[in-house]
């Protein structure tokens, strides 16, 4: 595995949404993702964590070219061909779609209830014209379904026959059928019971080894991310505030937000009393983010400069592979 | 000390088109004042149905067992009819907070008006007094600018604040029992920690009993004093939370704990519980967990329902294999 | 033991059937368990058959050509199997004799002759008046779109009588058999309703579809058009449009015209429903999944959106039907819709407004019963379909 090479290079991208209450009022801009840079190495399992309003889902979908990128560059390196997502032709987009896929959060709404499981999994093959005959399609469907541990007898059933965990496996099979290199898993285990969660996570891990996949795993659940991901990026209000290998992040968090987040995770040990760092106030509105460091309004110990909004945001590498937003680096 | 709440042999079935579905079977629970009891289980475990039975909030097609008794401060509330008696219970002696705070507040009425309405229903006080109690309560749950928020609508508050406002509303009538149905599941983890602390403070201050329902074992570990683990409508293990978490005896409880990601041991592989939760239409005979149990013994486990028997002090387990081998 | 295994097998088969059922099979299964809907469906089927086979079942031509001069304003004649003279396997009627003479002041006096010899027996499948099946004669204004399909000519009818007339529901002022007229009226009302619903549906699909699928400003503009059409008061509009129809138009042309007006008035409601369905389906995650594979809009519409709202649209269509029938009846009743000699329920009811009818000839109201049954069965079937329409609603966690 050529782990030194980037699969996806994300440089300073922003994703804006314009919002208009009715066609007579003024157009407002919401910056869901602001100035984000991230390198996703080939074969890695990158975790993207954040709370509500962090922009993690928007970022994930922007990488899949499902949201329009307002500025910056996203480049997908596929062997000798590079796809620049901000400047992509229709033909190239079609090819990109085969290589990058998405697994949804809600297994109940992600599968069309009126199609058989076989048709659901086969749909990408048929739409992207990957297979030509029905026999080829069926063969490929069966192949991927058995990799996802789906009972082949069940292929002619409809989604309503399956439990949440099984439906998620169908979602995974659908994402993998076009033989992609990159998968975005958007809160893919959030809606599942704990005992099933572990099963799906194990499946994702084994498929990564077997099929040489690269994952971007979006979640709000830090403990899950800690277990499966190699690298974790923490987002707050559209910015990435810290990136580190997962062990390093959990042992040695540097950003105040990361520290607060980690301290809030309830421990399974009843003896260990929680000493959650309390964050004052509420998450600011995305329409009107604070100037300078967006976290300054809730930081437990901001310096004078932080509070004034004088410090611009930007990631600095404090240790090899460990990047922290410079506002918190300067605090120390 | 007499029990605040005593649930005997609760059995709840639902009359549906597909027949009678058993949702809760033979649930036995006890709660004192100032205690927090956790009900933990996955989907279909019946924990919500159990809690709602206390206020008879289940759907109209719910059928309660003949031997079921829910004794709240000496009265069997299951026998109450839709009249004055139930009105006193709902919102008065017993309050409930829900997972989705947006669903608890009427969208077109201010929060203050709703809180005052609730108070006036249960206590004979003047409107001004109700208003001041409500504002005090909003302040007590940690909402800044309580009198400003009092006049706002639910959609003007953020998720965490709405949840606090709901707690304030539930507590304003000084109930003896608070039912919290997944109150932190929809919240960000930083807010979750605060809400958990708030609930623990309230319990200490007002000495009320709380039933805390969740699927998250870590939240249970940090919040409750006693826990009952439910699977497909029955209690499989119950006892003090320290005892259950450090020494789980029922295979399901053990499986749940092992399936959790452990932040202190990131290299440990995740162990799921094999199989799927059976649909309530296909309830397994005998012990409901036997279809997924590693200790399954044919003829024993699928033959009869294991009773909840005492394994140790403050620790009961419903499992034939455990009680046979290790007593 | 054998029975137990068989039961288990039956359960497994039933379960597998449930798991592999298409959405329409599920809808049908739920519909079947709704008893009132099934009974209404049966009635609806009977009414439709009566209408479609009206020519065959009616013993007389409903137009003026088939009138019975000897039995004007006649009361309903119910065939008997039994009377004082004995039992008869074939149902029969008494002969009605009339006499007029000096002693009755030259007014017709009717007497029933109950003698056995004077019985008239009912025949099955006798030859009667000629009627056509599958004949089509379109005669629109101008010569361009006229065409004629000859079709088949039949002579047999379901029942008849050996002499005289058999009028199960009586006759009207000119002697036309009300039973035949009622059956034909059902047919005409159903036909007008079908054409009206069809036109409304096509328009609603196009406008609602574009509105719902594209959203944005296209949606805004389309909605404004829809709302404008919807607020036009229907009765004055009908009156204006109907009075514009030149009197020289043939009855068939008039028939098409009325049906078209009904369709053009009725599309806004359907369009709004189509748009709503599309808007909610469009944001479903499985649609996004298809888009992320690069599916074209036509693929998404045909494979995801259309199947998802087909069941709802069928419900909407069935429920719109009675409104069309009611509107046409109302129009014809006030004289602006179809006219004699075309039968429709409204035309029949027009005759029933006169005082002497109300006092003396109550059988003119028998078509009303048919009308009520027809509309109610549509409504009940529509309600039943709506209750079973979304078999997947309960399954969200």
Dihedral (CA of C278, C282, C286, C292) sign: positive
How would residue C395 be classed by pLDDT, with cut points 50, 70 and 90? Answer: very low
HEC string for C372-393: HHHHHHHHHHHHHHHHHCCCCH
Of C286, C291, C292, which has the smallest distance from its Cβ to A112's Cβ? C286
Rounded alpha-carbon distances, angstroms, from residue C335 to B196, C94, C174, C346: 74, 38, 19, 9
- CA-nearest residue to A99 within chain C is C293
Of the candidates C396, C100, C300, C226, the residue with the CA atom closest to the CA atom of residue A113: C396
Q: Rounded to the nearest 5 degrees, what angle is found at the Cα of C194, between the Cα atoms of C189 and C200?
A: 125
CB contact under 8 Å between A108 and C395, yes or no, is yes
What CA–CA distance (Å, rounded) separates C42 from C63? 29
Residue with tokens 């597998």: C16
Contact across the interface for C293 and A191, Cβ inside 8 Å: no
Q: Is pTM, for the whole model, over 0.80?
A: no
Q: Which two tokens stand for residue B157?
A: 């508050």
Average of per-residue pLDDT across C62-79: 73
The helix (H) or strand (E) run that includes residue A98 is helix A90-99
Touching subunits of A (3+ CB pairs, under 8 Å) are B, C
DSSP for residue B129: H
CB B178 within 8 Å of CB B95: yes
Q: What is the 3-state secondary structure (H, E, C) of A239-291?
A: EEEEEEEHHHHHHCCCCHHHHHHHHHCCCCCCCCCCCCCCCCCCCCCCCCCCC
Query: In this predicted structure, what is the pLDDT of residue A174?
Result: 92
- Rounded to the nearest angstrom, the gap between the alpha carbon of residue B94 and the centroid of all alpha carbons in its chain is 13
Find, among C76, C347, C304, the residue nearest to C188 by Cα: C347
Contact (CB<8Å) B270/A198: yes
Burial of C162 (0-12, 13-18, 19+ CB in 10 A): middle
Q: Which of B296, B274, B293, B230 is nearest to A195 (CA)?
A: B274
Q: What pLDDT does A3 receive?
A: 40
Residue of B nearest to A165 (CA): B276
Q: In chain A, what residues touch C395 (CB-CB under 8 Å)?
A: 108, 113, 160
The alpha carbon of residue A280 is apart from the nearest alpha carbon of chain B, in Å, by: 10
What string of DSSP letters covers C210-266? Answer: HHHHH-HHHHHHHHHHHHHHHHS-HHHHHHHHHHHS-TTS-HHHHHHHHHHHHHHHH
Dihedral angle, C-alpha B251, B254, B255, B259, nearest 10 °: 180
Is A104 within 8 Å of C304 when comparing Cβ atoms? no
pLDDT for residue C354: 76
Which residues in chain C touch residue A115, judged by CB atoms under 8 angstroms apart? 303
Task: Supply B77's token pair.
Answer: 């509330």
C194 min Cα distance to partner chain A (Å) = 28
Give me the helices (H) in B235-312, please.
241-246, 251-259
Cβ B259–A51 below 8 Å, yes or no?
A: no
CB contact under 8 A, C293 and A154: no
CB of B183 within 8 A of CB of B195?
A: yes
Q: CB-based contact (8 Å) between A226 and chain B?
A: yes
- CB-side neighbour CA atoms (13 Å) of C385: 19
Q: Do B192 and A264 touch (CB under 8 A)?
A: yes
Chain A residues with CB under 8 Å of C296 CB are: 127
Under DSSP, is residue C90 helix (H, G, I), strand (E, B) or coil? Answer: strand
pLDDT in the model for residue C397: 32
Q: What is the C-alpha separation between A171 and A71, in angstroms, rounded?
A: 31
Tell me the two tokens of residue C53.
């086979």
- pLDDT above 90 for B36: yes
CA C80 to chain centre: 31
Place of tokens 């649209």: C313
Asked if A280 is an interface residue toward chain B (Cβ–Cβ < 8 A), one would say no
Interface of A with C in 25-64 (CB under 8 A): 64
The answer to whether A282 faces chain B, any CB pair under 8 Å, is yes
Residue-wise pLDDT tens digits, C90-139: 777 777 777 777 777 777 777 777 766 666 777 777 776 766 665 555 55
Give yes or no for a contact between A289 and A237, defined as CB atoms under 8 angstroms apart.
yes
Cβ-Cβ contacts under 8 Å, B241 against chain A: 270
How many Å separate Cα C108 from the centre of its chain? 39
Give the residues across from A45 on adjacent strands: A215
Residue of chain C with shortest Cα separation from A113: C392
Under an 8 A CB cutoff, do A223 and B261 touch?
Answer: yes
Residues contacting residue B157 through CB under 8 Å, at least 6 positions apart: B111, B149, B165
A92 touches chain C (CB under 8 A): no
- In Å, how far is A185's CA from the nearest CA of chain B? 18
Would you state the pLDDT for residue A23?
61
CB contact under 8 Å between B188 and A246, yes or no, is: no
Per-residue tokens: C67:
């009138």
Chain A closest CA to B271's CA: distance in Å?
6
Q: Does A276 touch chain B (CB under 8 A)?
A: yes
**A285 touching chain B per CB within 8 A:** no
Q: How far is CA C170 from the centre of its chain?
A: 23
pLDDT at B327 over 50: no
Angle at alpha carbon of residue C271, lines to C266 and C272, rounded to 5°: 110
Half-sphere exposure in the Cβ direction for C274 (13 Å, CA): 30
Contacts of A155 in chain C (CB under 8 A): none
Tokens found for residue C364: 């003119």
Q: Which residues of chain A have pLDDT under 50?
A: 1-3
Is residue C264 classed exposed, middle or buried when 0-12, 13-18 and 19+ CB atoms within 10 A define those classes?
Answer: middle
- Res C83: pLDDT: 72
pLDDT in tens, B244-300: 999 999 999 999 888 888 877 777 888 888 887 887 778 888 888 988 888 888 888
- CB nearest B261 (choices: A166, A195, A226): A226
- Name all chains with 3 or more CB-CB pairs below 8 Å to chain B: A
Instruction: Find where tokens 């199609």 sit.
Output: A115
Name which of B38, B152, B190, B294 to mutate to probe chain A: the one with the most chain A Cβ atoms within 10 A of its Cβ: B190
Nearest-CA distance A155 → chain C (Å): 9
Residues 42-71 of A with CB under 8 A from B: 51-52
Question: pLDDT of C188-236, one tens digit each?
Answer: 888 888 888 888 888 888 888 888 888 778 888 888 988 888 888 877 8
> Would the CB atoms of A115 and C397 count as touching at under 8 Å?
no
Confidence category of residue C145, pLDDT binned at 50, 70, 90: low
- Exposed/middle/buried for residue C48 (C-beta within 10 Å: 0-12, 13-18, 19+): middle
Give dist(CA C269, CA C312) in Å, integer.
13
Distance in Å, alpha carbon of A132 to nearest chain B alpha carbon: 36
- Tell me, what's the pLDDT at C1? 63
Q: What is the pLDDT of residues C327-365, one digit of tens each?
A: 888 878 877 777 777 778 788 877 777 777 778 777 788
Tokens representing C109?
């006096």
pLDDT, tens only, B131-186: 999 998 888 888 888 888 899 888 888 878 888 898 888 888 888 899 999 888 87
What is the rounded (10 degree) CA torsion for B301, B306, B311, B313?
160
Suggest the residue from A110, A127, A182 to mutate for an interface test with chain C (most C CBs closer than 10 A): A127
E-assigned strands of chain A?
6-19, 28-41, 45-49, 71-78, 81-84, 100-103, 182-186, 214-219, 231-236, 239-245, 315-319, 322-325
Distances B74 to A109, A298, B26, B58, B87 between C-alpha atoms, Å: 46, 48, 20, 22, 17
ipTM tops 0.85: no
Best mutation target, B18, B164, B188, to test chain A (most A CBs within 10 A): B188
Find the closest chain A residue to C295 by CA distance: A127
Distance CA A325, CA A255 (A): 7
Residue with tokens 């541990």: A149
**pLDDT, tens digit (0-9, with 9 covering 90-100), for C12-44:** 777 777 777 777 777 788 788 888 888 999 999
Per-residue model confidence (pLDDT) at position C87: 73
- The tokens describing B100, both together, are 């989705």
Listed in sequence order, the residues at least 6 apart from C240 whose beta carbon sits closer than 8 Å to its beta carbon are: none
Please give the C-alpha separations between residue C327 and each of A71, A108, C60, C287, C351, in angstroms, as whole numbers. Answer: 58, 43, 28, 39, 18
The per-residue pLDDT for range B51-107, each reduced to its tens digit, is 988 888 888 888 888 888 888 888 888 888 777 778 778 877 898 988 887 777 888
């Amino acid at each position: 595995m050529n782990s030194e090479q980037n699969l996806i290079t994300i440089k300073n991208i922003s994703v804006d949404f314009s919002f208009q209450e009715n066609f007579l009022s003024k157009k407002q801009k919401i910056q869901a993702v602001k100035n984000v840079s991230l390198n996703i190495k080939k074969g890695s399992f990158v975790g993207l964590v954040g709370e509500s309003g962090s922009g993690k889902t928007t970022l994930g979908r922007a990488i899949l070219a499902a949201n329009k990128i307002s500025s910056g560059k996203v480049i997908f390196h596929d062997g000798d061909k590079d796809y620049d997502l901000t400047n992509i032709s229709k033909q190239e987009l079609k090819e990109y779609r085969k290589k990058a896929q998405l697994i949804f959060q809600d297994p109940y709404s992600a599968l069309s209830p009126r199609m058989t499981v076989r048709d659901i999994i086969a749909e990408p093959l048929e739409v992207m014209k990957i297979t030509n005959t029905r026999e080829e399609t069926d063969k490929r469907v069966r192949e991927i379904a058995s990799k996802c541990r789906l009972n082949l007898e069940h292929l002619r059933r409809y989604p309503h026959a399956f439990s949440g965990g099984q439906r998620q496996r169908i979602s995974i099979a659908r994402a993998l059928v076009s033989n992609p290199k990159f998968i975005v898993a958007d809160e893919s285990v959030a809606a599942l019971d704990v005992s099933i969660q572990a099963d799906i996570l194990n499946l994702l891990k084994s498929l990564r080894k077997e099929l040489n996949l690269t994952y971007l795993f979006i979640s709000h659940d830090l403990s899950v991310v800690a277990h499966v991901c190699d690298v974790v990026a923490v987002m707050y209000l559209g910015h990435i505030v810290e990136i580190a290998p997962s062990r390093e992040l959990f042992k040695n968090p540097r950003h105040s937000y990361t520290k607060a987040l980690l301290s809030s995770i309830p421990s399974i040990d009843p003896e260990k009393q929680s000493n959650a760092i309390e964050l004052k106030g509420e998450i600011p509105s995305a329409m009107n983010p604070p100037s300078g460091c967006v976290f300054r309004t809730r930081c437990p110990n901001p310096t004078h400069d932080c509070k004034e909004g004088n410090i611009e945001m930007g990631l600095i590498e404090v240790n090899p592979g460990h990047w922290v937003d410079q506002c918190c680096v300067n605090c120390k | 000390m007499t029990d605040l709440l005593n649930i005997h042999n609760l059995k709840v079935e639902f009359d549906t088109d597909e027949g009678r579905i058993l949702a809760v079977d033979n649930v036995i629970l006890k709660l004192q004042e100032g205690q927090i009891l956790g009900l933990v289980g996955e989907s279909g475990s019946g924990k919500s149905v159990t809690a709602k039975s206390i206020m008879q909030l289940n759907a109209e097609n719910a059928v309660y067992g003949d031997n079921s008794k829910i004794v709240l401060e000496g009265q069997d509330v299951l026998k109450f009819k839709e009249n004055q008696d139930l009105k006193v219970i709902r919102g008065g002696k017993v309050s409930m907070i829900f997972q989705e705070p947006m669903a608890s507040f009427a969208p077109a009425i201010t929060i203050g008006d709703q809180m005052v309405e609730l108070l006036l229903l249960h206590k004979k006080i003047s409107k001004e007094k109700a208003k001041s109690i409500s504002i005090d309560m909003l302040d007590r749950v940690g909402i800044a600018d309580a009198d400003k928020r009092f006049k706002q609508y639910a959609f003007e508050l953020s998720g965490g604040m709405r949840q606090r406002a709901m707690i304030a509303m539930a507590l304003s009538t000084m109930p003896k029992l608070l039912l919290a149905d997944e109150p932190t599941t929809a919240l960000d983890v930083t807010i979750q920690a605060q809400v958990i602390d708030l609930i623990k403070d309230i319990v200490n201050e007002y000495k009320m009993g709380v039933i805390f329902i969740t699927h998250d074992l870590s939240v249970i570990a940090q919040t409750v004093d006693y826990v009952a683990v439910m699977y497909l409508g029955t209690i499989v293990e119950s006892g003090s939370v320290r005892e259950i978490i450090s020494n789980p005896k029922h295979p399901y409880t053990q499986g749940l704990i092992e399936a959790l990601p452990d932040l202190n041991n990131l290299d440990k592989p995740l162990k799921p519980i094999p199989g799927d939760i059976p649909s309530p239409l296909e309830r397994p005979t005998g012990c409901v967990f036997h279809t997924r149990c590693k200790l399954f013994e044919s003829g024993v486990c699928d033959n009869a329902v294991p009773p909840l028997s005492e394994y140790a002090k403050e620790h009961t387990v419903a499992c034939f294999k455990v009680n046979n081998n290790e007593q | 033991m054998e029975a137990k295994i068989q039961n288990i097998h039956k359960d497994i088969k039933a379960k597998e059937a449930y798991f592999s059922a298409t959405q329409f099979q599920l809808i049908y299964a739920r519909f079947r368990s709704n008893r009132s809907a099934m009974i209404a469906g049966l009635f609806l089927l009977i009414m439709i058959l009566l209408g479609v086979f009206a020519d065959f079942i009616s013993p007389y031509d409903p137009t003026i050509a088939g009138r019975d001069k000897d039995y004007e304003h006649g009361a309903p004649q119910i065939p008997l199997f039994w009377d004082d003279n004995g039992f008869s396997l074939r149902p029969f009627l008494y002969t009605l004799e009339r006499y007029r003479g000096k002693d009755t002041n030259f007014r017709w006096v009717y007497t029933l002759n109950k003698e056995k010899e004077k019985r008239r027996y009912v025949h099955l499948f006798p030859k009667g008046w000629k009627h056509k099946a599958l004949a089509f004669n379109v005669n629109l204004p101008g010569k361009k779109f006229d065409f004629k399909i000859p079709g088949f000519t039949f002579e047999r009818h379901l029942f008849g009588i050996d002499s005289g007339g058999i009028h199960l529901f009586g006759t009207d002022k000119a002697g036309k058999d009300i039973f035949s007229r009622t059956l034909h009226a059902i047919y005409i009302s159903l036909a007008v309703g079908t054409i009206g619903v069809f036109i409304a549906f096509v328009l609603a699909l196009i406008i609602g579809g574009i509105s719902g699928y594209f959203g944005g400003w296209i949606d805004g503009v389309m909605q404004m058009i829809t709302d404008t059409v919807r607020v036009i008061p229907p009765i004055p509009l009908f009156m204006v449009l109907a009075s514009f129809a030149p009197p020289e138009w043939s009855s068939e042309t008039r028939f098409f015209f009325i049906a078209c007006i009904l369709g053009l008035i009725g599309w806004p409601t359907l369009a709004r429903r189509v748009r709503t369905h599309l808007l909610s389906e469009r944001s479903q995650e499985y649609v996004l999944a298809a888009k992320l594979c690069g599916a074209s809009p036509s693929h998404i519409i045909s494979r995801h959106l259309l199947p998802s709202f087909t069941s709802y649209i069928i419900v909407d269509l069935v429920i719109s039907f009675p409104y069309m029938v009611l509107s046409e009846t109302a129009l014809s009743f006030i004289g602006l819709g179809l006219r004699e000699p075309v039968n429709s329920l409204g035309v029949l009811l027009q005759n029933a407004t006169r005082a002497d009818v109300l006092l003396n000839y109550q059988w003119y109201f028998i078509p009303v019963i048919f009308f009520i049954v027809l509309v109610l069965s549509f409504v009940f079937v529509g309600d039943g379909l709506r209750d079973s329409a979304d078999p997947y609603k309960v399954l969200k966690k």
